[in-house]
């Protein structure tokens, strides 16, 4: 962050409130309307596997890691999750979504302006997603890499969202305390992850409703988001403290 950026971020903080140092962005359903693409791919995969996806099962998959989502689907269809069957399904899903990302991915309303607002304020930023690195790189080509200092993907942590590890790793990479971070999330899975890491959370529901929580503030969308709204999110966070433990493969004991 530039010196001017540091001054802007610091001047914006009111006395007696936690200091806002970073904003941690979810991707699917928060920045990009990519949950719709995942929706198409998941229903196509269900048909290939000979099953019918109920709305309840589909909702349980939103925001989950790919292995967790596929495990939910295999269980719902009473399929034997052999390593070969599981890998084939995962590869098919990845390739289908990559192909759709190459065509067009719509933005969520207000997301691009909100990213610019945070960047212009000189705050540190991270992209924190359960999506794998390969797909995230495709998405970063669409979103713009300059919006983020770092990114954390689902295949770079031991446990993805709803575990706190992705958010803990992002904060560590940025060199900030999770308690000084605001996460922006659209799903119950993502909000739970950020909250458990000790972040405040601005929830902008997309495909599914998100339950209330002690560290969560809700908005209908990102349109009209102000820096004051992001700072104010820190003030409502309850006494949730970060969990500790290894957060990536090379930190495994
Ligand atoms: Mg999401």
What residues does each domain of the chain span? 3-33+106-251, 35-103
Return the pLDDT at 68.
87
From the CA of 51, how far away is ligand 1's center (Å)?
25
> What pLDDT shows up at residue 7?
39
Q: Looking at residue 197, what is its pLDDT?
A: 96
d(CA 121, CA 129): 23
The pLDDT of residue 124 is 97
Looking at residue 104, what is its pLDDT? 84
**7 Cα to the center of ligand 1, angstroms:** 31
Angle among Cα 155, 159, 163 to the nearest 5 degrees reads 130
Block means of pLDDT (10 residues each) for the chain, 253 residues, are: 42 61 96 89 94 89 84 93 92 91 90 97 97 92 95 96 97 96 96 96 92 94 96 75 45 31
- What pLDDT does residue 30 have? 96
pLDDT at residue number 96: 93
Measured in Å, residue 97 CA sits from the centre of ligand 1 at 15
pLDDT at residue 38 in the model: 87
How many whole angstroms from 186 Cα to the centroid of ligand 1?
A: 5
According to the model, what pLDDT value does residue 46 have? Answer: 95
- CA 49 to centroid of ligand 1, rounded, Å: 25
CA–centroid distance, residue 15 to ligand 1 (Å): 32
Residues with CB under 5 A from ligand 1 (ion): 26, 28-29, 186-187, 190
| Cα 80 to ligand 1 centroid, rounded to whole Å | 28
The CATH H-level superfamily of 3-33+106-251 is: HAD superfamily/HAD-like (3.40.50.1000)
Cα atoms in the 13 Å half-sphere on the side-chain side of 78: 0
């Amino acid at each position: 962050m530039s010196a001017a950026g540091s001054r802007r971020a610091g001047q914006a903080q009111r006395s007696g409130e936690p200091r806002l140092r970073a904003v941690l962005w979810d991707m699917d359903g928060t920045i990009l309307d990519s949950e719709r693409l995942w929706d198409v791919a998941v229903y196509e995969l269900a048909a290939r596997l000979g099953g019918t996806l109920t709305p309840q099962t589909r909702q349980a998959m939103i925001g989950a890691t790919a292995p967790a989502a596929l495990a939910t689907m295999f269980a719902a269809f009473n399929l034997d999750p052999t390593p070969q069957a599981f890998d084939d399904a995962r590869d098919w899903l990845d390739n289908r979504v990559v192909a759709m990302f190459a065509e067009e991915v719509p933005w969520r309303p207000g997301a691009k302006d909100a990213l610019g607002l945070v960047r212009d304020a000189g705050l540190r930023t991270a992209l924190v997603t359960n999506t794998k690195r390969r797909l995230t790189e495709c998405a970063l080509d669409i979103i713009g890499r300059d919006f983020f200092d770092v990114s954390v993907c689902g295949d770079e942590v031991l446990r993805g969202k709803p575990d706190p590890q992705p958010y803990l790793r992002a904060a560590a990479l940025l060199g900030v305390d999770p308690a000084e971070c605001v996460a922006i999330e659209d799903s119950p899975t993502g909000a739970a992850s950020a909250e458990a890491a000790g972040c405040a959370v601005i929830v902008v529901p997309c495909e599914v409703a998100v339950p209330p929580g002690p560290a969560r503030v809700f908005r209908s969308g990102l349109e009209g988001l102000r820096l004051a709204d992001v700072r104010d999110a820190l003030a409502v966070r309850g006494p949730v403290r970060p969990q500790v433990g290894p957060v990536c493969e090379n930190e495994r004991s």
